[in-house]
């Protein structure tokens, strides 16, 4: 029986780990889990830093574009005023000159010249005057003030008179033409 007992003891020692073996395995598990936790904490910290940088960059971008938008609007207004200053000078000269004028023809000619200069300046900036007389009424371009009997059969449904001119800026209507339509 000695051999049987020895075999049992030998088998039991192979199957049941000692308490030292268990502590060693638990320590290895704790060490590997602790390492994984440190790696995950480092990744979280890295992602937090990336998020904060990205948020800061976006906030800076938003402020910069907002500031640029305001500057562009102010610059656009400045261009229009620079365009009008020579016309203002022309009107001031005309008013001063008209104080001593006795004839009306040169006054009319002066105002016509100033008007043409003004319209050419606006045209260079993309402003176009609508010329709707004789064209069919279009609600996208015109505002009908009233309807009157058409002077001829072919003018029915067409614009007979313009009360207030319409304007478009670079193809976009900025003021609808106020018109009278023939019925």
Give the separation between CA 13 and CA 23, rounded to whole angstroms. Answer: 16
State the residue range of the domain holding 74.
20-125
Quote the pLDDT of residue 125: 86
Lookup result for tokens 């039991």: 12
Quote the pLDDT of residue 26: 58
Q: Is residue 77 part of a domain?
A: yes
Quote the pLDDT of residue 99: 83
Quote the pLDDT of residue 85: 86
Are 183 and 96 part of one and the same domain? Answer: no
Helices 105-124 and 19-98 cross at an angle (nearest 10°) of 160
**Structural domains of the chain, count:** 2
Are 118 and 140 part of one and the same domain? Answer: no
User: What single DSSP character describes residue 173?
Assistant: E
Quote the pLDDT of residue 27: 53
Q: Is residue 13 part of a domain?
A: no
Query: Can you tell me whether residue 66 is helix, strand or coil?
Result: helix
The ranges of the chain with pLDDT < 70 are 1-31
Q: Is residue 95 part of a domain?
A: yes
Quote the pLDDT of residue 36: 87
Are 43 and 120 part of one and the same domain? Answer: yes
Model confidence, pTM: 0.56
Are 86 and 27 part of one and the same domain? Answer: yes
Give the separation between CA 161 and CA 132, rounded to whole angstroms. Answer: 8
132: Cβ–Cβ under 8 A, 6 or more apart, which residues?
Answer: 141, 142, 159, 162, 166, 177, 179
Give the separation between CA 174 and CA 183, rounded to whole angstroms. Answer: 27
Are 46 and 100 part of one and the same domain? Answer: yes
């Amino acid at each position: 029986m000695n051999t049987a007992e020895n075999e049992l003891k030998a088998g039991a020692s192979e199957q049941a780990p000692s308490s030292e073996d268990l502590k060693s395995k638990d320590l290895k598990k704790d060490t590997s889990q602790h390492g994984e936790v440190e790696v995950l904490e480092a990744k979280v910290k890295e992602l937090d830093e990336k998020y904060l940088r990205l948020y800061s960059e976006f906030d800076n971008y938003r402020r910069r574009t907002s500031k640029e938008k305001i500057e562009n609007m102010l610059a656009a207004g400045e261009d229009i005023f620079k365009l009008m200053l020579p016309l203002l000078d022309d009107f001031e000269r005309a008013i001063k000159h008209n104080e001593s004028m006795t004839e009306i023809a040169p006054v009319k000619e002066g105002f016509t010249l100033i008007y043409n200069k003004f319209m050419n300046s606006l045209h260079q900036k993309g402003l176009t005057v609508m010329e709707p007389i004789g064209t069919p009424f279009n609600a996208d371009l015109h505002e009908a003030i009233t309807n009157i009997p058409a002077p001829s059969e072919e003018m029915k449904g067409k614009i007979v008179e313009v009360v207030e001119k319409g304007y478009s800026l670079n193809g976009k209507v900025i003021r609808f033409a106020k018109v009278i339509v023939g019925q």
